[in-house]
Amino acid sequence: MRFASLGSGSRGNGSIVASQTTAVLVDCGFSYKEALTRLKRLGLDPDDLDGILVTHEHSDHVSGVEALSSKHGIPVYASRGTWIEVGTANFNKSIYINDLFSIGDIDIMPVTVPHDAREPLQFVFSCHGVRLGILSDLGSISQRVVEGYRDLDAISVEFNHDVELLHQGPYPGFLKTRVGGDFGHLNNGQAAELLKRIAGDRLKTVVACHISETNNDTSRVEQALDSALENQNIRRLIASQSDGFHWIEIGTP
Ligand SMILES: [Zn+2]
Ligand SMILES: [Zn+2]
């Protein structure tokens, strides 16, 4: 299995999870044209996609989904709540919390997360024994998340903001409260704490994603990653808004 990102942050998100025979896009918060350019960078054409998973209805995750799916006939998988909020007929496959489903040879477990959307889900992927977690847009660490994201080979996890930078930063008060709240986004400390709780022997790759360009900086993210993973032999990467990250191989496909 391998994964990559079209871009990650509050101005648009999209991740690709692929086996040798199947490719799945998780979210598309980019315009159609922009998504095409970003897919091409990864050597992909929209017609290569076997499905689009939507985590929740916020525009940085859905704004490009309808165009991409309708122009290329790609099935869209989302929770009922997300489907209702987005209100498009193209969201044609309902998925359910803790209800394993498959696209091609990739098995997908939807996990519920505390976030201020109607029915947000994040996903754990497995293929031929290799396990990858994608986790962003959650304001606190729930028991379900800890249980769902154990025994992974790789994880892409939200390091949204630094508490200090958020407080000092330019956001209006209500937005600071929202972002920093239990149904907002993970701060560096929370993300590090989560990693400590779920990191097992097989974890070899950690990508920090959904990083705020306003309320965080890479040196603080690196510090938090180091505090969580110490000197374990785990590869650490940081996803960017402009470039996401290029293909990362995990296990044999
Ligand atoms: Zn988001
Ligand atoms: Zn969100």
CA 135 to ligand 2 center in whole angstroms: 11
Return d(Cα 129, Cα 44) in angstroms, integer. Answer: 25
Record the tokens describing residue 154, joined without a space.
Answer: 């790789």
From the CA of 14, the nearest ligand is 1
pLDDT of residue 89: 63
Using one digit for the tens of pLDDT, what is the confidence trace for 220-239? 999 999 999 998 999 999 99
How high is the pLDDT of residue 253?
Answer: 44
At residue 92, the pLDDT reads: 76
Q: How far is CA 73 from CA 14, 52, 65, 242, in A?
A: 18, 11, 11, 27
The ligand minimizing its distance to the Cα of 120 is 2
Interval between CA 138 and ligand 1 midpoint (Å): 9
Instruction: Determine the Cα–Cα distance for residues 45 and 147; give it in Å rounded to an integer.
Output: 35
Distance 137 CA to ligand 2 centre (A): 5
Q: What is the pTM of this model?
A: 0.96
Q: Which ligand is nearest to the CA of 60?
A: 1
Spans of the chain below 50 pLDDT: 253
